[in-house]
Amino acid sequence: MSTNKEKEEFRLETRTWLQTNCPEGAKGPGQTAWGSSKIVLERDVALWLERMSERGWTVPTWPKEYGGADLENDLYPILIQELMAIGARTPLTGRGVNYIGPTILELGTDEQKEKWLPGISRGEGGWAMGYSEPGAGSDLASLSTRAEKAGDEYLINGRKTWTSDAMDCDYIFVLARTSDDKPKHQGISLVLVDMDQPGVEVHPIRLLSGASPFNETVFNNALADSADVIGGVDNGWSAGKRLLQFERSTHAGINTSGSQGGRNTRDDTKEIVLKYSPIESGRLADSATRARLLEFQMKKAAQSLTQKRTIEETRARAPGFTSSAVKLSNALIEQERDEMIVQVMGSLGIGWSGEPFSDQEIDATRTWLKQKSLTIAGGTKEVQLNIIAKRVLGLPD
């Protein structure tokens, strides 16, 4: 634990360094690096990534030998607050620094850490997540993608679905079946696969909006190095569940692996509600909207304190089952906010494009619809409630 004096010194030192080194083009909304070799970075974004990774602040809590800065968990929130104070975007995000990186750090061998972590910390390679299959979502252990040993390699065959960003990724971590003669949870392994090979095909899944962030990823005799099984062969259920905790903690804002702060730099909820609601005698005329806004603000403040407490109390880079609780409450608060915003906007809150809708109104509609996925991605609301009931509250099955 750091003393108050140490915290204050760290804050001042950090503030000065950030003021000098964060380029203007890496502040406010805009491009954020996530490692993909297929996306060209803007000059300032590339410079920001380079400076922050040299300082170990793309993965501040990782050991220095793997590209981090050995930062204590109680100093991490100070770095994030200072990033947010100047509106700096995170220098590097994505499944590399946030999901697979910390999993390798916790469960990988020394060779695996040396091979993968320095590159991940510098943003060399974008990572996709190969968990869900057409027949295995919430019931993930029913997956049927196979990894068969062939000499020093594994041959991967199967079909993954909903692989976000796969079209721009360089690597994918895959949950695959390595043994058939064991109970279904015990014959799975977590394998790292290079996507740039003939055996991996990515097919976009077109959405109603016309955009296509999702893909189906097909493995047809794709090769993986047998040294790239993380957490041990047939132990992928445990390793894969730990990775899910890193994913959920990222959604919840409590993963201290990357430097994810600086994302939501400003909460403009009150400002928007006031803009679209009638005001009488200096306050919102509608008592129901008043109560709703107040309740949202209290929940948001409580959530923020919970995030801070969880980070301080967790010795690892992400807590265990608590991740599910904080992820779920975060998602529900966000969705409540979205509902409130489109409601106060009235008919302007259902705009999709063009006149008479402003950019803010179009953004509200799209955010409202997009964030419905917050209670599906990373495990559905019902799955999180099951985990909280069984693992946090200790209720019987």
Ligand X SMILES: Cc1cc2nc3c(=O)[nH]c(=O)nc-3n(C[C@H](O)[C@H](O)[C@H](O)COP(=O)(O)OP(=O)(O)OC[C@H]3O[C@@H](n4cnc5c(N)ncnc54)[C@H](O)[C@@H]3O)c2cc1C
Q: Which of 70, 209, 373, 393 binds ligand X (CB under 6 A)?
A: 373
Segment 82-86 long-range contacts (CB within 8 Å, at least 24 positions apart): 82/11, 82/14, 82/15, 82/18, 83/18, 83/259, 83/261, 83/262, 84/261, 84/262, 84/265, 85/15, 86/18, 86/19, 86/22, 86/27
The interface mask with ligand X, positions 135-154, x = CB under 6 A, is --xx----------------
Q: Which of 382, 389, 393, 395 binds ligand X (CB under 6 A)?
A: 382
Residue 151 C-beta: closest distance to ligand X, Å = 28
Alpha-helical segments (H) within 211-318: 236-252, 269-276, 287-313
Candidate ranges 151-159, 265-273, 293-301, 373-381; the one touching ligand X (CB under 6 A): 373-381
CA–CA distance, 274 with 343 (Å, rounded to integer): 13
CA–CA distance, 332 with 344 (Å, rounded to integer): 18
Residue 14 C-beta: closest distance to ligand X, Å = 33
Candidate ranges 157-165, 201-209, 254-262, 304-312; the one touching ligand X (CB under 6 A): 157-165
Cβ atoms of residues 326 and 378 within 8 Å:
no
Task: By CB under 6 A, tell whether 132 contacts ligand X.
Answer: yes
CA–CA distance, 35 with 195 (Å, rounded to integer): 14
Cβ atoms of residues 203 and 215 within 8 Å:
yes
- Residue 204, beta-bridge partner list: 215
Candidate ranges 35-43, 115-123, 186-194, 381-389; the one touching ligand X (CB under 6 A): 381-389
Residue 71 C-beta: closest distance to ligand X, Å = 28
Q: Return the CA Rg of the chain.
A: 22
Give the residue nearest to ligand X (CB): 137
CA–CA distance, 111 with 108 (Å, rounded to integer): 8
Q: Which of 274, 333, 369, 377 binds ligand X (CB under 6 A)?
A: 377
Task: By CB under 6 A, tell whether 323 contacts ligand X.
Answer: no
Residue 22 C-beta: closest distance to ligand X, Å = 30
Residue 214 C-beta: closest distance to ligand X, Å = 7
Q: Which of 163, 255, 310, 324 binds ligand X (CB under 6 A)?
A: 163
Task: By CB under 6 A, tell whether 386 contacts ligand X.
Answer: yes
CA–CA distance, 301 with 333 (Å, rounded to integer): 11
CA–CA distance, 278 with 273 (Å, rounded to integer): 9
**Sequence-separated (6 or more) residues with CB below 8 Å from residue 195:** 128, 166, 169, 170, 171, 172, 202
CA–CA distance, 31 with 33 (Å, rounded to integer): 7
Q: Largest Cα–Cα distance of the chain, in whole Å?
A: 78
Task: By CB under 6 A, tell whether 129 contacts ligand X.
Answer: yes
Q: Which is nearer to ligand X, 43 or 390 (CB)?
A: 390
Candidate ranges 7-15, 158-166, 220-228, 354-362; the one touching ligand X (CB under 6 A): 158-166
Residue 365 C-beta: closest distance to ligand X, Å = 17
Q: Which is nearer to ligand X, 46 or 374 (CB)?
A: 374
Judged by CB under 6 A, the number of residues near ligand X is 18
Cβ atoms of residues 361 and 325 within 8 Å:
no
Task: By CB under 6 A, tell whether 162 contacts ligand X.
Answer: yes
Task: By CB under 6 A, tell whether 367 contacts ligand X.
Answer: no
Candidate ranges 77-85, 130-138, 199-207, 334-342; the one touching ligand X (CB under 6 A): 130-138
Residue 213 C-beta: closest distance to ligand X, Å = 7
- Residue 185, beta-bridge partner list: none
- Residue 187, beta-bridge partner list: none
Q: Which of 85, 376, 388, 392 binds ligand X (CB under 6 A)?
A: 376
Q: Name the residues that contact ligand X, by CB under 6 A.
A: 129-132, 137-138, 160, 162-164, 373, 376-377, 379-380, 382-383, 386
